[in-house]
Amino acid sequence: MRQPSSPGLLKNGDVIPSSYANSTVLTYKEPVGPPSETPFSAIALAKLALKAGIPSSLIHVIPTKDRKASLELATNPLVRKISFTGSTAVGKMLTKLASETMKKVSMELGGNAPFVVFEDADLDQAVDAALICKLRASGQTCVSSFKCANRLYVHKQVLEAFAEKLAAKVQALKLGRGIDDGTTQGPLVNAAAVAKVKAHIADALAKGGQLWTGGQAPSHLSGFFFEPTIITGTTPDMDVATDETFGPLAAIFPFESEEDVVTQANASEYGLAGYFFSQNVSRIFRVARQLECGMIGVNTGMISAAETPFGGTKESGVGREGSRYGLSEYQNIKSVTIGNLR
């Protein structure tokens, strides 16, 4: 079950390991979540898989909004494994349903990734990573190499310089249709996504945040476009601190000490990914141990590859995709003891 932000992602995280484990894959669009809005890429890839020689019995794409289909797939004893990418609420519901027949589950759910810039960081490196981690796919990335960062924590000593560099990069981005030359930023997935970005911005500004750039829908484009936005002076009581925006809003939080920022970074029910930038080796290993998340990028925004495990902790889910750990999610351990043979 996949998410709308990467509709064509029949990835090594589930299809390939399941195939190695000799299992049939149902690529299913969850009816109570947004994945039903983007089924066509998955269908196209399934057709390519068949053309490449993969047996027709191996992959099935079911783009449906029928809740009965959802219930059947989650509870039918013939289905032994569910891999889901989407909201925490739907993930919890599926896990409860799967427990009735003791199915194995892999859940890649919500995130609220912290992105920390210490005072000794290479600012140009951090800005380039923030641009991708925060604004790639207009801030709607939850998979692939760059997991979308939601909270940017920058040390007070370098906050002004970081914000200036990031704003300059953001203002050079071009909103538009993907087929137009020079376009770097596309639209959001629907009107609800735009409304959420607007609500987070309004809440932050009402509570004392400062708008550096963006903050509105472009007048020259129709549809679900929204300008990449930077807000500084954000505080823990703002909605953006606790709720994943999943849109082009870079909220920058100031901090003064390592202990302070680790506490703020961990003050979330989610634990999918985290990033931090520092040149201090002792700090790197210390903070990496302390951050409560399944994946960490140090001086880089690239945190996943086919050979590395992808997944989170806390309410960001259970299980792993990719690597040998991802394969084990589709296997069961069997012990065979043979006595004396004659």
Give me 162's structure tokens. 């970081």
E-only strand ranges, 121-279 = 149-155, 210-213, 229-232, 249-255, 270-271, 273-277
Please confirm, yes or no, whether 72 is among the known catalytic residues.
no
CA distances in angstroms from 245 to 9, 24, 234, 274, 281, listed in the order given = 22, 35, 14, 16, 32
Three-state SS for 224?
coil
d(CA 89, CA 218) in angstroms, rounded, equals 32
Sheet strands side by side (includes 249-255): 210-213, 229-232, 249-255, 149-155, 113-117, 273-277, 295-298
Active-site choice (37, 100, 108, 227) = 108
Contacts of 31 (CB under 8 A, 6+ apart): 64, 65, 66, 67, 69, 70
Calpha distance 76→84 (Å, rounded): 16
What is the rounded distance in angstroms from the CA atom of residue 262 to the CA atom of residue 252?
15
Token pair 């993907």 is found at 178
Under 8 Å CB-to-CB from 22, ≥6 apart: which residues? none
List active site positions: 108
